[in-house]
Amino acid sequence: MLFPEYRARRLRRSDVMRRMVRETHLRVDDLIYPMFSAFGTNIKQEIPSMPGIYQQSIEHIVAEAKEVYELGIPAVILFGIPEEKDPMGKDAYSDSGIIQETIRAIKKEVPGLMVITDVCMCEYTDHGHCGVIKDGDVDNDETLKLLAAEALSHAQAGADIVAPSDMMDGRIAALRTILDENDFSHIPIMSYSVKYASAYYGPFRDAADSTPQFGDRRSYQMDPANRVEAFREAALDVDECADFLMVKPALAYLDILRDIKERFDLPLVAYNVSGEYSMVKAAAEKGWIDYDRVMMETLIGMKRAGADLIITYHAKDAAQLLKG
């Protein structure tokens, strides 16, 4: 294949030709939309660093869930902002907790929408860490008990998929065991398998009110410099019977997405995190980039890297564009 006989530009000459040779597609079915459910009524507070994304009380969450469903987006992932936080994060596994109430409300009004729940302690603990604190650090094995109780409670409230984001060792097995023992063997676990200790979560922590009050998350989330460690994390989750794997964040970790896709057979999720969304929104607001095009290019890049599904704050905007 040598120039001038071979000319690569022949296949790029028209839109219809480009469509025929396109290798990767973004579909509305690939999208998962994150939502922040806040205790109270009549709350709809925009997150300053995340234009278009709100902390909302349940009636507003349900209204937006309907909109998401009508756009054809298959699933939402829920985060909770409870009435009260305490050292043990009790609201996380309470039957009347913010997420449990939200799940029931969505499933009642929009039963066809998949409800995924984030399973972690940091939104519910007063210290903001992802588990129970002992001697100044998160105690792994004690935290597993609370995460298991939280996941079970979400399933009992009607969650379709549970998604642990805590990065404790052994959490997938702990969740699988408690779910199976309680007749929830049909509920899949979407593991945040490869989750880095990232500054890109900054805007989310404003949204979820979950900034650690001391220290940081580096004793449980991964070092951004590591790649081989990601394979060990994913392998553990596969052994413990995870149903989905995830790489988070996405944009600075596209190589990891590709690597995990090539090594493991489970459906792979990319989390296009808060800071990635904020950067695009901010640059677009300044008129420096074309929002629609940069958004779609970013999402297709994640799919090309190997993502089957993308959790993204852009989901509604992207779905609208895909509808044409």
| Residue from 118, 237, 240, 317 in contact with ligand PBG (CB under 6 A) | 118
User: Does residue 222 bind Zn ion (CB under 5 A)?
Assistant: no
Draw the binding track, 109-138, toward Zn ion (x: CB under 5 A; -: no contact): -----------x-x-------x--------
Q: Which does 37 bind (CB under 5 to 8 A by kind): ligand PBG, Zn ion, none?
A: none
Residue 86 bridge partners (DSSP): 125
In the complex, minimum distance from the CB of residue 248 to Zn ion, in angstroms, rounded to a whole number: 12
Rounded to an integer, what distance in angstroms lies between the CA atom of residue 134 and that of residue 90? 17
C-alpha triplet 291, 292, 295: angle, nearest 5°: 80
Does the N-terminal peptide bond of residue 82 adopt cis geometry, omega within 30 degrees of 0?
no
User: What residues does 114 pair with on adjacent strands?
Assistant: 75
Q: What is the DSSP string of 51-82?
A: EEEEEE-HHHHHHHHHHHHHTT--EEEEEEE-
- Calpha distance 110→78 (Å, rounded): 14
Q: Which of 195, 261, 281, 303 is catalytic?
A: 195
The answer to whether residue 91 forms part of the interface with ligand PBG (CB under 6 A) is no
Nearest to 78 by CA among 314, 311, 237: 311
195 is catalytic: yes
Spatial contact of 249 and 222, defined as CB atoms under 8 Å apart: no
Angle between helices 291-305 and 315-323 (to 10 degrees): 100
| Cβ atoms of residues 319 and 28 within 8 Å | yes
Output the smallest distance, CB 310 to ligand PBG, in A.
Answer: 12
| DSSP at 111 | T
Q: What does the per-residue mask of binding to ligand PBG show for 139-178, with x meaning CB under 6 A?
A: --------------------------x-------------
Does 260 participate in binding ligand PBG (rule CB under 6 A)? no
Given the residues 66, 107, 145, 248, the one annotated as active site? 248
Question: Is 248 annotated in the active site?
Answer: yes
- 102 part of the interface to ligand PBG, by CB under 6 A: no
Binding-site partner at residue 204 among Zn ion, ligand PBG, none, CB < 5 to 8 Å by type: ligand PBG
Classify residue 114 as exposed, middle or buried by CB count within 10 Å of its CB (0-12, 13-18, 19+). middle
Our CB check for ligand PBG shows the closer of 88 and 109 to be 88
130 lines the binding site for ligand PBG (CB under 6 A): yes
The stretch near ligand PBG (CB under 6 A) out of 39-47, 51-59, 200-208, 257-265 is 200-208
Among 153, 274, 278, 312, binds ligand PBG (CB under 6 A): 274
The residues annotated as belonging to the active site are 195, 248
Give the interface with Zn ion as residue ranges (CB under 5 A): 120, 122, 130
> Site residues (CB under 6 A) for ligand PBG?
118, 120, 122, 130, 165, 201, 204-205, 217, 273-274
